[in-house]
Structure 1
Amino acid sequence: MSDRRTEILRAATRVITRRGVRGLRVAELAAEAGVSTSLIYYHFTDRAGILRETLEFISERADRYTAQWDPGEAADNPLTELAQVLLLELQDTVEVRENSTAWGELRASAVFDADLRVDLAKATHTWVHEIAELLGRAQPTGTAPAHAASAERLTALLEGLSVRWLSGSLPREHARRLLGGAIAAELGGRHPELQPAGITVD
């Protein structure tokens, strides 16, 4: 992806974060990215194309920052890896705040936009599948349908916890503890090995 295209998508994420999907105007996006509106249309054709590719951009960016766990620490412990990957969605960084807020705005708009709904469903399915694979490694005696159901519950919970944290109705550390408890519950009880990932299970 070209640097200019990436900067436009980064700018689109910021605009959606501030104004929501309905507030995304090509002229404002061009100003935010420091480019002409014609260049935006050249790269993305129309507003639907901007939204579709912004969704892909934030999904790929999330893949990058959730891969930043210490593989040396978790290499022999798939449960710790699973916990770290999920917890990295609750980092207090600009990138995570933007991504989580933009994801929530895109999800809300998808209720009324059939095309966006299809794209969002694909992105969600990919995320759930990735978490189900990690669950399978952490609990190899479980079944694929059980791991898929657990992944659905954990990712849905994480989205809700993220919204509450970002909107100020839930302290981040409490959100992390709740997520840790949910991971332990999905895997059948208390897991002291979650402690290295920074999770305190109440």
Structure 2
Amino acid sequence: MRNVRLSVAERREELLRATVEQIEERGVAAVRIGDVATALGVSNALVLYHFSSKEKLVAAAFSHAAECDMATLRAMTSRRTSAVRRLRASVRWYAPSGAPKGWRLWIEAWAVALREPALREVARDLDLRWKAALTGLIEEGVAAGEFRCADPVAAAQRLTALLDGLAVQVTSYDGALPRARVYAWVDEALARELSLDCAALRAPSAAR
């Protein structure tokens, strides 16, 4: 067993990261407290000291993953560049890229959320925050005259529905869709929502 002195906050974060990794690898149903403890070289008792049950550990792990995702999104949306470039970067980051690890976690979350109210709240909150961020970027671009969009809220909802559906396909069926095709469809959908053509969306001038 490891004997490393960490603060309570550091230990909890270490446990949450390890739990996320175990969920991605094994799925929620198969993950045990012992798996997390073994991965870190600590005792089951230490894990249970910080999280009194597997259910609380799993819920906290999903919340931790959601906050990490939102931190990445905030970094993208706060860049000092055009709204269209930030939008394209954000949706391409969110889109499944062919490496299913991160999306496997959230597909697990959706499945478990059907039965677990705590996880349903986490997944729902993340979904609402993502759509709000997209909506804000679209509204910003419209106000700046970069593109046109009559209903930014509906546009964000449609884009999210497409991305979520693509994620299920790519994650569930190995090789179902090549990365290039996924990104092409994402660009086409975004251009359509912004009343642009794909060439304008990808043009260097859109990057300024």
State the TM bucket, normalised to the shorter chain.
0.7 to 0.9
Equivalent residue, structure 2, for 1:75: 80
TM-score by length of 2: 0.79
Change (3 A) 1:39 1:148: farther
Q: Does 1:22 align with 2:29?
A: yes
Equivalent residue, structure 2, for 1:162: 167
Q: Does 1:113 align with 2:120?
A: no
Equivalent residue, structure 2, for 1:200: none
- Give 1:123's match in structure 2, choosing from 121, 126, 147: 126
Change (3 A) 1:118 1:69: closer
Root mean square deviation, CA, Å: 2.7
TM-score by length of 1: 0.81
Once the two structures are TM-superposed, the CA of residue 67 in structure 1 deviates from its matched residue by: 5.3
Equivalent residue, structure 2, for 1:60: 67
Once the two structures are TM-superposed, the CA of residue 189 in structure 1 deviates from its matched residue by: 3.9
What is the letter of the counterpart of residue 88 of structure 2? Answer: A
Q: Distance in 1 between matches of 2:142 and 2:198?
A: 12
Q: Where do 5+ consecutive residues of structure 2 fail to align? A: 1-7
Equivalent residue, structure 2, for 1:173: 180
Change (3 A) 1:112 1:192: same
Q: Distance in 2 between matches of 1:190 and 1:175?
A: 17
Change (3 A) 1:109 1:183: same
In structure 2, the residue corresponding to 1:23 is in which secondary structure? coil
Q: Distance in 2 between matches of 1:187 and 1:115?
A: 36
Change (3 A) 1:93 1:10: farther
Equivalent residue, structure 1, for 2:4: none
Q: Distance in 2 between matches of 1:196 and 1:36?
A: 54
Q: Where do 5+ consecutive residues of structure 1 fail to align? A: 198-202
Q: Distance in 1 between matches of 2:94 and 2:191?
A: 17
